[in-house]
Every structure is written in C-alpha cells, then in structure tokens.
Amino acid sequence: MNKKITNTPIPFIRRQYMKQPDCEAFYYNDIRLNTVEQHYHSHYELYFFIEGKVHYIVDGNEFDLKTGDVLLIPPNKIHGPDIISTTEPYCRFVLWLDSSFFEKFENFNEDILFGMRFSESSGNYIYHLEYTLYNEIFGNLLDLWREYNEEHIFKNATMFNHILTILLKINRLIYEKHNSSVSVPKKELYTLIFEYINRNITSDLTLENIASNFFVSKYYVSHIFKDNLGISLHQYIIKRRLHACRGAIATGEPITTVSEKFGFTDYTSFYRAFKKEYGISPKAYQKEVLFNPKND
C-alpha cells in the first residue's frame, strides 16, 4: 500500500532557485502535469518518490522510479522527470539544501555530505529504501513537512534535526551498500514478510502481492526467503495454510469450509497436499482427532 503525506500538497513551482536560506521543502501531488524541463541549480536536492509513472534523468542516466526510491542530486547536475502518465497522481517530496545549511554543522560536514559526495564521485544517484527504512524516513518527512508549514518555537532547530536524521539514515544506507566489510542485517525484510504471511494467512498471498506490499521485486522476495528458510515462498505458504487447516479440522469444522477459508479453492489439490504433508486424509484425521483427541 502506498503511503501519502496527508497534509495539503502545494501547487507545482517551476523556479529552480532558492528564495529561502539554508533549505526549502516541497510536497507535490500532481495530476495532468505534462512536462518539467531538465534543469540544474547550485544547491543540493533530495528527491523522494512516493507514487506515479515516471522516469527520472540525472546527468544523462535514466531511472524507472518506484515507491521508496530516493535521488541524491548534487549541484550543477542536469536532471528532470520524464512523466509517463499524466492521468495518475505524481507524488513526491523534494528537499533543497544550500551550502549555508551544511556550514552550520561544520564539525559534522563529512558525515552529513557523505551521500552527496559519493553520488557525485561515483555517478550513483538513486537508492531504494526498503520497507522498514522507507517507513522510518517517511515519518521523518511527515514531521518535517508539518514543521515547515507551521510556526512553533524552535522551528528552525527542529527542522534541522529532522533533515539531519534523514541525511544520516540515507548516508548509512549508502555506506553499508558499498562497503562489504560492514555487517548488514539480512533477515530484517525476511522476518517482516514471515510475520505478514502469518497475519494474513486467509488472504490472497501471491508472490506479486507480497512483493508489492514491501516495495521490492518478486525475485528478491523469492531469493531471500529460500536463503533463510530453505524452501520457496510458495511452499512455506502451503505449509502454513495446511497447518491452519489441520487446527480448524480438529475442532470439527466442515473440511470443505476449512479448505476454502485458508485459500484452497480446489478440494482435490487440498486433499493431496494434506495427505502428503501429514500422511493421512483430512477426513480420517478429523475422525481420529475427534474420537481420540490425545493423539493430536
């Protein structure tokens, strides 16, 4: 499910220079925006893609954007979107930072500017935020946007804190991605998928739906699942559904009702899978458990 910032978006601004010192923030959610000319500017830009059908070009490199993508665009790099569909919402968050912002944190400049400098030197301008990090940074963006549009005491300090948090999370992602010696938790996404399946065992758990829910490719989901559990995602879902069916059958619930409830639309397939898994037919198992409950 794609998340959106609930505050009112602003009309699209075509200027490419900063009116405010240090930083400017923009939340756009456009429909029927036909073109945005490629451009460049003297400030840094962080671009967070939320939804839409858009290709984005940075310094001659074209990227097919998907939810959770972030672009780090250093100064004077020609960039701009190629909008594929003008009938679907084009939703994104854009953050502009000039050199004065970074000068306020001169003791930390190396850490704060790491991602931008790496992007400029390597030509890697796009990074994908996986499910957990995307949600974290989305929350930071939401807090930043609210602060940016309201007047509170310590507003600037609070905004800078949100921006620093976002920058450092992205910088850590980039550093870990390009330094093999860093130990990156590999089971995080796997664990989230595992829990999602268990919570939604009666739902439509196709590979495509699960991958879409976690903003990753279906091939990636298949790969990490088999690496961590030793069986395919499909095999695990079948085993979990059979386990759920076995528990429901043991209560005396009608077998056909149970099989349909847990995603087996074809009873013959369910019968064969159950017997293969437990060495007994569903009906025989139910009879055995109901008349001799200690055997379960």
- Average pLDDT, rounded, for the chain: 85
Residues 159-199: tens digit of each pLDDT: 999 999 999 999 988 888 877 544 444 456 778 888 888 88
- In the sheet where 54-58 sits, what is the strand order? 61-64, 54-58, 79-83
For residue 295, is pLDDT > 70? Answer: no
- Chain centre to alpha carbon of residue 194: 16
Host H or E run for residue 149: helix 131-149
On whether the CB atoms of residues 68 and 49 are closer than 8 A, the answer is yes
Section 243-260 average pLDDT: 89
Residue 106 pLDDT class (50, 70, 90 cuts): low
The DSSP secondary-structure symbol of 9 reads P
pLDDT of residue 292: 63
pLDDT of residue 180: 53
For residue 93, is pLDDT > 80? Answer: yes
pLDDT of residue 13: 86
Residues 1-24: tens digit of each pLDDT: 344 444 567 788 889 889 988 999
Looking at residue 106, its amino acid is: E
Entry pTM? 0.61
Q: Of 241, 251, 253, give the one whose Cα is nearest residue 278.
A: 241
